[in-house]
């Protein structure tokens, strides 16, 4: 499941990377301080982080839901994954903005939810982490059912 989370994260990490300051005059995000490693490592390392965040969601499902887990669709499991996705995404953005790491740029398609520190918290990252847990959850059911065969 970790690698499924990494692959799902890769979709938006590469998307943000190739629309970011390295490749665009009108980037979707701005570095508030320089990335300390080779630029291509940013999306690759972030995908590993995404896989870990998904696995924390899995552990929360195991903690708060009765077994069996990820066998069939259950609203309680999906709700935990969605709630975790929103909480951790907001926390990551607040830390990044307050730590002067990065901020997303407001666009007509990425409206500001609220201002925070030297940047803003915008809709698209929250929307990504609303859709991603749904995809991950459905993939997890498929992975778990294939493992049981």
> Using one digit for the tens of pLDDT, what is the confidence trace for 4-41?
999 999 999 999 999 999 899 999 999 888 888 898 99
pLDDT tens, residue by residue, 50-101: 999 999 999 999 999 999 999 999 999 999 999 999 999 999 999 999 998 9
144 vs 137, more confident: 137
| SS3 per residue for 91-118 | HHHHHHHHCCCEEECCECCECEEEEECC
pLDDT at site 149: 64
% pLDDT > 90, the chain:
81
What pTM did the predictor assign?
Answer: 0.92
37 vs 123, more confident: 123
Side-chain half-sphere exposure of 129, counting CA atoms within 13 A: 22
The CA distance from 137 to 127, in Å, is 16
Give one word for 108, left, alpha or beta, with left for phi > 0 and alpha for psi -120 to 50.
Answer: alpha
% pLDDT > 70, the chain:
99
For the CA atoms of the chain, what is the radius of gyration?
16
């Amino acid at each position: 499941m970790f690698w499924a989370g990494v692959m799902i994260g890769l979709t938006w990490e590469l998307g943000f990377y190739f629309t970011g300051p390295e490749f665009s005059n009108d980037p979707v995000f701005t570095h508030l301080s320089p990335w300390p490693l080779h630029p291509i490592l940013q999306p690759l390392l972030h995908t590993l982080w995404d896989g870990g965040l998904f696995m924390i969601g899995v552990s929360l499902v195991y903690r708060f839901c009765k077994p069996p887990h990820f066998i069939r669709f259950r609203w309680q499991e999906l709700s935990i994954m969605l709630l975790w996705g929103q909480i951790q995404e907001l926390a990551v953005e607040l830390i990044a903005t307050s730590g002067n790491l990065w901020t997303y740029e407001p666009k007509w398609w990425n409206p500001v939810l609220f201002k925070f520190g030297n940047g803003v918290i915008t809709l698209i990252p929250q929307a990504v982490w609303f859709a991603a847990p749904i995809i991950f959850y459905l993939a997890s059911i498929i992975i778990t059912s294939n493992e049981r065969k």
